[in-house]
Structure 1
Amino acid sequence: MMRRALDWWSGHPQLADALLAALACAYLLVEVPYSDHTIADPGSLPVTFWGDLLAYASLALRRRFLVPVLALVWTLWIAGGRWDIWAEWNASWSELSTPTALMFMLYSGGRWTSSTWPVVFLAGTSLPAIVTVAAMWAGPPPFPVPAPPGDLFAVSFVTGAAAWGLGRLRRSESDAVARAAAQAEESKTQAALAEERIRIARELHDILAHNVSAMVIQSTAAGAALLSDDKAEAGAAVEAIGHAGRTALAELRLLLGVLREGPMQPQPGVEAIREMTEWLPIEVRLLVEGQTRQVPPDLGLAAYRIVQESLTNTLKHAGKDANAEVTLRYTDEGLRIRVTDDGIGGRKTNTMGHGLIGMRERAEKFGGTARGEPLPEGGFMVEATLRWA
């Protein structure tokens, strides 16, 4: 309950200050006339009462016009002649006198502003002590001053300094919390930017590596077909090159469009895997097992890229004479992907380098795993699991 009240107070500073001023003024208007037995004759109320009422009414604007309100309260304190702040504060809970309001405003000055004016008015609380000491040395001043207490009003400055120092301490704590929050937000932003850079790099790698590899392999096949005067084979290779180029351009435009304005059309998903296997220059068999279901777009894109990268590596390392098999298995836990090739063209390496790293990153994003390894009978196998959200 107390925490909720403090949160409300912090979230509505102007309203909270107005409420504080209203409560203080209402208390003064009820308590002082009754305690002084002047309720029937308001004109007999002491002048200082009206100064107290004005001081507390001004607190409604203490954060909006902090320095003017502090100047007003300090002036009322000086004019009221109750200079022993410590004694008045301890004895004035029944009337909320101006010295108490001055302490509150000195605290507010330390808490809410970095201006030097609160320090000036804090120094001004030592004026009664200076006047008293001067009177002791040079005789009484031409205007009446209260009889000094034993401490010559020195405690007034100490009390005001304690209030201002408490405000400064609270300001320092708030600034430290704000800096920590800003640093945490900056770290979060930088982490998000780093993750976004990795995602863009991964997308570019998958788009370019797959399609360019297919174009290079098909251009080699087209060259060989032209040398052997096999126009049909050369035509098929050129058509495949055009398809790969158009696919690369379309996916790059989509990626750049996402970066500029957000997604404007669906990105490739699980349903696009069949089309990809049909135009590749290698023989690819696609198997779908289990009860199919609607796949979220992000997960579908990850599945498409994993299959794309696996078949790209088959093209690069096994050649266009290799055979591959893609299995998509729908389970209760997630989508399982298995891509194998027979390695007929012969692999130069048993690793997939950055391609496998990208697959693992995509799988881990969905709480799954990805791995690749050579098969005992030859060829290569990639397995990945993407869990449903």
Structure 2
Amino acid sequence: MYVFAAVVAVLAAVTALLPRGVSGLGRRASGFVALTPEVVAVVAGGVSLVVTAVIVVARGDVQAGTWGLFAEVPALLVLTLLAARRRPVAALVPGLAVALVLLRQVWNGPPLLILGACAAWALPAVAAAGAGLYLRWLDQARGRAVAAAVQDQRLALARDLHDFVAHDVSGMLVQAQAAGFTPGLPEPVADALRRIEDGGRRALASLDRTVHMLNDPDRAPTPGLERVGELADGFPPSVRVSFDVATEGVSREASATAYRVVSEALTNVRRHAPRASAVAVSVRADRLWLEVRVEDDGAAGRTDARRGSGIGRRGGFGLAGLSELLAAVGGSLEAGPHGDGWRLTAVIPA
């Protein structure tokens, strides 16, 4: 009977530990061996066998049926690991009912004695479940604290964008609008002022979307390739911008990254090739990769400095940051001269 009690106590502790406490314990394990459910099962099985052997040898009551415990204990532990590890709490009710029925059939002692024995065997399970729930509560509290700190940083950044950057851009926009009313203004200058005004409006709209996203990220998803055509609005009618985009089977994350690549590339065309007459945007996807290519045809009078510049010089922080972003997600970025123009090619995991 003592052997049976020892085995049941260890099994009860492992049953409670696996679904409740292992996830928290494993994240805190340090050293050479991580405390995974598999490791817990092996350790518990070994402890069960040792305890069983010690009790049997100490009592000197070795019977024919006793040796079966040495095979039954690890078998029950394996079944516990596979069947009880991920079961919901609702599964405990029928499980307890079946256990009580079986217990009543194999043990015909007084009810109070049975109840007391079950309570004693349940103590390790209650202790293991309590430890697991406490560790899980600590994890959740830490997660809430990190989320609150991140949200505070987002709100602070949103305030800075609204109070400083948007204010300065609005000032530039007002000055460009006022300069457009100057009498006798040459048409090229007036056209340049209109482009400045349009760019200022787009910048304010982008800032507004960014501030809205920082304040409420769930209601402002990052644009993807489905909106890439809107990026052509920043070019004058004299520039032909063509899009050849195939997005079937592309994940949302890859689509958002590709949108950023195209946005940065078109911004660099406007900045460094103002006389370009054609820009081609191509997006191709296969099962593993998404390739984004942006080319411009260049313009007469372009200096060799741009042709020989690298990613950092041509795109400034934008392309350098974009290169780091792609490297972080497992992609790559190449940019360089192509004929009379410039080509940018990005490869992104699909």
Normalised to the residue count of structure 2, the TM-score between the two structures is 0.49
Normalised to the residue count of structure 1, the TM-score between the two structures is 0.45
Larger radius of gyration: 1
Higher relative contact order (CA 8 A, sep 6+): 2
